[in-house]
């Protein structure tokens, strides 16, 4: 199994733990570290929706809270035909903590797309603008 296939497989498994009782839209994510370690996350919904945590942010926060600071790519899996990219807030956080990493999108059957984060967030707001 290639690195990308292993990453997507981990995201599919993470998706099984999603708590999406309101929308039914389950998402899994798997964030790869330079040494090949994979940290996963799933979406966790809340009745207010505003407190919902996306799978990508769950994986990122888990990794950061464990002291990891360098990332290679992230896989995002949803049960859709079209590629499901990270939402705007996820893109912003991924940019700030991961830089221009590779985003691999997949559904339950196959990989559907792969893009650099810079393609999905072409004019990011980051610390350069705070100086």
Residue 123 lies in a domain: no
Which three-class secondary structure state does DSSP give residue 27?
A: strand
Residue 124 lies in a domain: no
Residue 82 lies in a domain: yes
Q: How far apart are CA 42 and CA 114, in angstroms?
A: 19
Residue 85 lies in a domain: yes
Residue 76 lies in a domain: yes
Which three-class secondary structure state does DSSP give residue 111?
A: strand
Q: How many domains does the chain have?
A: 1
Residue 59 lies in a domain: yes
Q: Are 40 and 59 in contact (CB under 8 A)?
A: yes
- Of 29, 34, 35, 36, give the one whose Cα is nearest residue 10: 29
Question: Residue 114 pLDDT more than 80?
Answer: yes
Instruction: Output the pLDDT for position 65.
Output: 98
Residue 90 lies in a domain: yes
Q: What is the DSSP string of 64-84?
A: HHTT-----EEEEEES-SS--
Which of 56, 96, 102, 119 is an active site residue?
Answer: 56
Give catalytic status of residue 66 as yes or no: no
- Quick: pLDDT tens for 55-105: 999 999 999 999 999 999 999 999 999 999 999 999 999 999 999 999 999
- Of 63, 53, 62, give the one whose Cα is nearest residue 26: 53
* pLDDT confidence band for 38 (50 / 70 / 90): very high
CATH of the domain at 39: 3.40.140.10
Residue 127 lies in a domain: no
Determine the structural domain holding residue 37 and report its residue range: 3-117
């Amino acid at each position: 199994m290639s690195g990308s296939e292993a990453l997507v497989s981990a995201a599919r498994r993470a998706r099984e733990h999603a708590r999406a009782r309101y929308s039914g839209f389950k998402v899994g994510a798997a964030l790869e570290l330079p040494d090949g370690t994979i940290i996963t996350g799933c979406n966790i919904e809340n009745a207010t929706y505003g407190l919902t945590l996306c799978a990508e942010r769950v994986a990122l926060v888990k990794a950061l809270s464990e002291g990891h600071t360098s990332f290679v790519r992230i896989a995002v899996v949803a049960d859709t035909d079209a590629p499901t990219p990270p939402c705007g807030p996820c893109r912003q956080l991924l940019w700030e903590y991961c830089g221009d990493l590779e985003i691999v999108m997949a559904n339950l059957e196959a990989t559907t797309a792969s893009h650099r984060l810079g393609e999905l967030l072409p004019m990011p707001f980051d610390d350069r603008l705070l100086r």
